[in-house]
A and B are shown apart, each in its own frame.
Chain A
Amino acid sequence: MRYPVSMILSGHINKRIAGVMVFLLFSLIILFFLELILGSVSIPCPEIIRILSGQGSSHDSWEIIVYNFRLPKAVVGLCAGAGLSIAGLFMQTLFRNPLAGPDVLGLSSGAALGVALVVLTAGTAGPSSILADLGFFGNFGIAIAASLGSALVLMMILVLSKRVRSSMTLLILGLMFGYTANSFISILMHFTLAERIQAYTIWSFGSFGGATWDQIQILVLFTMFAFVFSIFLIKDLNVLLLGDQYAESMGLDLIRIRNKIFIITAVLSGVVTAFCGPIGFIGISVPHLCRAIFATANHGILLPGCILFGACLALIADIIASVPGYSITLPLNAITSLIGAPVVIWIIFSKSRAGMEVSV
């Protein structure tokens, strides 16, 4: 018989899917190098390779630029894009809601509140960037505070989602949680020094370039842990696509899988938000783009797909935001929104035109 398109479930990996995966992988490698090459100072490609391989460079400043600015940015962008996309994918499957995502349902705001609590209340006088010189415990503290913040919002949504059937209502609730968290932040800011407020505002624009190497280690550790853990959830996530009752009738332990998805999602959106600021629209749009590209809802394909595609998209957004060749940089959040918002509009329109409720 002719096997259907998405037959990785059955072990028949479709050639087109494999092709797209390889293409995404190559794109990611190229984008990663572009992140290192492009910027206000142009460094030739052979020099980059020499610097990365540890042979040093003819210009000391180039070495500093690559090691302290561009390489951290590329690594953070890669982890953040992939992490947010996975969080979005899991939330969409868990809530069976196509408009779910770490930013739209208020998880990023919850994480921001966690960060604000740590940073705005901590020191009396501080450096210009809120992420600088936090020390090891400070770094972990900020990551955990952000994760707890997003976990808190996620928990409230999870409780309410059992009472609310409509995906639009849940979305509005998420927005309300976001507003609530933001108003707490505003209150905190009222009692804080002006430099701190300015630093917080800059952080809230979103940037991959603010984290120190120590913080990057934490980010990489947490995201890697989440990715590996996710592999074990593929089968359960696929069964969840048929809805809670069907999944349970087929032998899925609903509470356990919910808790696992819960932890991964809260940690991913918390840690990424802590070190990059709230990054909008990547989490909600990448899973949809992957479903459209791969023409499947199978998480065995969507999981690696979202990691690769999310990382690519984040790097593209960062390259655009850094405006290669000029000394100005645009807010990263503005760029991700410009890319992601049309995707969300497309989701809503394409499904309502077909006369059906938007579905995962």
Chain B
Amino acid sequence: MGLIRIDKLTVGYKKRKNGDKKVISHPNLDLKSGELICLVGPNGSGKSTLLKTITGLLPPLEGEIFLSGKNIRSMSSLERAKQVSLVLTNPVQAGQLTVYDVCSLGRYPHTDWMGSLGQEDHDMVTAALDAIGIRHFAHRYLHELSDGERQKVMIARALAQNSKLMILDEPTAFLDMPYRLEIMHILQNLAMNEDRGILLSTHDLDLALRTSDRLWVVNRDGSFHDGAPEDLVLKGIISQVFAIGEISYDAERGRFHIPVHPKGSVRITGENGKFRFWTERAMERIGFALQGDETVKIHVHITSRENIVTWIIQTPGNAKQFSNLTDGIDWIQNLKIAG
């Protein structure tokens, strides 16, 4: 049985007059434990609204959501909290609370009216801190931590809540690159080792494509796609949903294509490997398409001798040697070659 099942769902805010209603309809949407699913889609496609509806913060306007086979409408808030935990985008601003305190608040749906913690609760909190790798700063105060560390604490708290399903609404939006990677890595491990089902929304398409088991793509018009990330790329869904203006998704290279004014073509010879790769990237960036034949006007040859790499750039009537690409690119751009 899947952790989430969604049936002809309409999400949105009731009070708003028309507009802002999203129909997300998919007959067999399903999330199993041990699975990491990324929800991607352009701004305004209703990602947050969908996640908040699944967590029970918003009532579904129409259609049904089932958590572990039980309809979310018939669950009390405590029952729901035992099934699903939530991590939000914004870092929590709370003073005088230690990391351990925050994590133990995750035990809220399981403790008595006083909120006192038994041995089992302590074990659960400690295990959560260990799983995220933050036990060494359990005694530190939340307000002393960086945004990335704080987000890890919130994930540990969600883990201590001990729900099978964990939902994260753009958990890495405010974080810098290393933390984004680390959090995604942590979430992958959680799904795998702790047997949780994890659903997160993100704007980082590249990271989503590389880490999620399956991808949920939601478009502005409410169309919904579900599948392995690679399948969705091959079917052209990613390029269709994420194309904006001249920017398009290049399915062959697996990255976004940023158009530049074409200036000519270039032939690259010599070294292979990383020097070749980044030389090609540099040439594409300044508008020179790669070509193999010898009719092109610019020829870049990469040589390496005793670990010293040099670029020899030849144009009709001109040739020069460079020890780095910065100077080489500078020289090419000053040549003013047409076609």
Q: Interface on A for B, CB 8 Å cutoff?
A: 1-7, 9-11, 96, 232, 234-235, 238-239, 241-243, 245-246, 248-253, 291, 295-298, 300, 356-357, 359-360
Contact = CB atoms under 8 A, between A and B. Distances in A.
B139 A3 contact: yes
Contact of A6 (B96, B105, B116): B96
A359 B143 CA distance: 9
16 contacts: A3-B139, A4-B101, A4-B138, A5-B98, A10-B116, A235-B113, A238-B115, A242-B94, A245-B86, A252-B77, A252-B108, A296-B97, A297-B95, A298-B97, A357-B93, A359-B95
A255 to B, nearest CB: 10
A291 B95 contact: yes
Interface in B89-135: 92-102, 104-106, 108-109, 111, 113-117, 121-122, 125-126, 135
Contacts of B102: 242
B21 to A, nearest CB: 21
A61 to B, nearest CB: 49
B85 A249 contact: yes
Interface in B227-283: none
B202 interface: no
A250 B106 contact: yes
Contacts of A4: 98-101, 138-139
Contacts of B98: 4-7
Contacts of B117: 9-11
Contacts of A291: 95-96
Given A4-B100, A234-B114, A250 B135 contact: no
Contacts of A298: 97, 101
B95 A6 contact: no
Interface string B50-83: 0000011100000000000000000001101110
Interface string B130-152: 00000100110001000000000
A10 B104 contact: yes
Contacts of B116: 10-11
B95 A234 contact: no
A306 B284 CA distance: 67
A303 B289 CA distance: 71
